[in-house]
Amino acid sequence: MYDRNRVDCVETTETLSAELDGEASEEERLAAEAHLGGCADCRQHYEAMAAITRSARLLPVEPGPDVTASVLPAWQPRLLDRLRGRAGRRLRLMLRGMLALVAAVQLLVALLQVTGTGVSVHANPAPGGTMPHISHETGAWNAAIAVALGWVALRAQHAAAHLPLLFSFACVLFGLSGFDLVLGNVSTARVASHLPILFGVLLVAGLAVLRSEESGPDTPRAKRPEHAVDVGGDEAPEPVTRRWDGSAPPSARHRESA
């Protein structure tokens, strides 16, 4: 429905709603009032809107539930997050020290096997059957594991990269050792010589979980590129100018600057 000013009821309703919120302009308000003078439906609708708005504004504000106790814990860092930061630096240093000690013990076991003074491979070795090649082979493996453990102790940020290989090796080693021990194919002392590997894998796993999120002594600094431009000095770098050597037509930007 339109009035003589060509203002319809829908537009008037929108204007009146904006007026109740204090957002209608003076021109819109005057046009809406003029429309109300000749439209009973809009006057009734406006009275209903005004009553609802007034009731909503006069309602008492009741205090809402206190959600601080339920929301605040979500913003607090977890124990693992705290241990990955400065709070866990002492723990990480302790694990690295223990891992270095385990690496030294593992290297000693490897040297004893390589030199033939360590524990034998079989539970009841035959006289003269020292099996030097197997001793040398297992000694080389143990030496490699010792080097890997020592490297992780020195550079703890590489713990996660070494963990899959060390963990899989430890699982297969102790699984087969337990099977051979039950069948009597290996001595208890030989199985006990593998314990440093187990302790080392557990320490590497701990360092991988407690990896530091901050840049510290564990993280090597990136090397400076040879082509890097030093902007920290007093002198500004010289601008790079390009000259056309005549081999190809110059670009449009070059022609405009020329």
Question: Could you report the average pLDDT of every consecutive run of 10 residues in the chain (258 residues)?
Answer: 59 84 83 83 86 82 75 70 76 91 90 70 49 72 90 90 90 88 83 88 90 50 48 50 52 49
Burial class from Cβ neighbours inside 10 Å (0-12, 13-18, 19+) for residue 77 reads: exposed
109 and 179 share one domain = yes
Q: What is the pLDDT of residue 22?
A: 80
Q: Are residues 51 and 145 in the same domain?
A: no
At a CB cut-off of 8 Å and minimum separation 6, what does 71 contact? none
For residue 116, the model assigns a pLDDT of 67
**Residues 200, 87: one domain?**
yes
pLDDT of residue 216: 44
pLDDT of residue 238: 56
Q: How many domains would you assign to the chain?
A: 2
Residue 147 within a domain = yes
Instruction: With respect to residue 37, please indicate whether it lies within any of the assigned structural domains.
Output: yes
14: containing domain: 9-58
What tokens appear for 121 in the block?
């491979």
The pLDDT of residue 17 is 85
Residue 204, pLDDT score: 93
Asked if 189 and 139 sit in the same domain, the reply is yes
Q: What is the pLDDT of residue 199?
A: 92
Residue of 3, 66, 64 whose CA lies nearest to 36: 3
Q: How far apart are CA 42 and CA 38, in angstroms?
A: 9
Residue 244 covered by a domain = no
For residues 175 and 115, state if they share a domain.
Answer: yes
Instruction: State the pLDDT at residue 182.
Output: 87
